[in-house]
Amino acid sequence: MIQRLYVHNFRCLEHFELPLKGISSSLLIGKNGSGKSTISYALEILQGIARGVSRIGELVKASDFTRGNTDIPIRFEIETILSEKLYKYVLVLELPDNFKEPRISEEQLLVDGKQIYSRKEANVCLHKNPQQGSDASFFIDWHLIALPIIQKQSEKDPIQIFQSWLERMIILSPVPCKMKGASRGSTLLPERYVSNFAEWLTGLLLRYPAAYSNIDKYLRKVMPDFDSIENELLAKDV
């Protein structure tokens, strides 16, 4: 569960902090241009990194700096609780003069305040416990993000635990008019605007049949005349 999101100098967000500690779910409501979509874009950038996009230029453009102010770095921070430990990931981007795309000036992952790895410009340092030996460091291109590149030791590696959580995060901006009621298959990955609602619901109930009881219970609360959900065959393979 996300505890905190901080974004600075990214599109319309300056010194923006979203505290979510102790909140299991939240709904963002605001006028057009207030930054709702920008928040989800920021989360999608972080998720794209976890899913293997290593070059920052594929995720962030020069135009993403607030009002073109490239003298100030873009800063992303995200905190989450995993196995009762606080994970914090920080990514700082800069765009020097005459550069066509941003590069990484700072990056780090901390668990309960202890650095797992840190990065300053091109130098990445893997911090180890005293029992594991001395720290290890290596150099990478300034335009490459370290998180998806660092080799993980095991499934219990803190870097692997955080990356797996981040890549599985579901980010939604539901638009009812775009939701389709017919499906030609099933999926467990709803699209951003939930346009594949029927395919997602089909996949959800196929994988987790017990989920139907939760859906049924909720719908009966908000719609007293609700009867049941049926998967009707509308046409061949639909």
pLDDT at 207 > cutoff 70: yes
DSSP 65: B
Identify whether residues 183 and 141 lie together within a single domain.
Answer: no
- Taking residues 176-197, report their average pLDDT: 92
Whose structure tokens read 């992303």?
Answer: 76
Identify whether residues 115 and 40 lie together within a single domain.
Answer: yes
Identify whether residues 146 and 188 lie together within a single domain.
Answer: no
Per the domain annotation, does 202 fall within a domain? yes
Q: What is the identity of the amino acid at 83?
A: S
Per the domain annotation, does 190 fall within a domain? yes
Query: For the chain, what is the domain count?
Result: 2
pLDDT at 41 > cutoff 90: yes
Q: Go through 93-130 and write b for each residue having 16 or more CB atoms within 10 A of its CB, e for each that does not.
A: bbbeeeeeebbbbebbbbbeeeebbbbeebebbbbeee
Per the domain annotation, does 13 fall within a domain? yes
Identify whether residues 22 and 124 lie together within a single domain.
Answer: yes
What strand order describes the sheet that includes 74-82?
16-19, 2-8, 74-82, 85-94, 103-111, 114-120, 123-126, 136-139
pLDDT at residue number 170: 85
Identify whether residues 80 and 185 lie together within a single domain.
Answer: no
- The domain that contains 38 carries what CATH number? 3.40.50
Q: Which residues contact 20 (CB under 8 A, 6 or more apart)?
A: 1, 2, 3, 4, 5, 26
- Highest mean pLDDT: which range of 14-28, 114-128, 131-145: 114-128
Determine which helix (DSSP H) or strand (DSSP E) holds 138, and give its type and residue range: strand 136-139
pLDDT level of residue 131 (50, 70, 90 thresholds): low
Identify whether residues 99 and 182 lie together within a single domain.
Answer: no
Decide the pairing of beta strands 114-120 and 16-19: unpaired
- Taking residues 117-145, report their average pLDDT: 90
- Taking residues 49-70, report their average pLDDT: 95
Identify whether residues 38 and 116 lie together within a single domain.
Answer: yes
Per the domain annotation, does 210 fall within a domain? yes
Task: Report the percent of the chain where pLDDT is more than 70.
Answer: 98
Q: What is the mean pLDDT of the chain?
A: 93
pLDDT level of residue 132 (50, 70, 90 thresholds): low
Select from 168, 191, 208 the last residue of a domain: 168
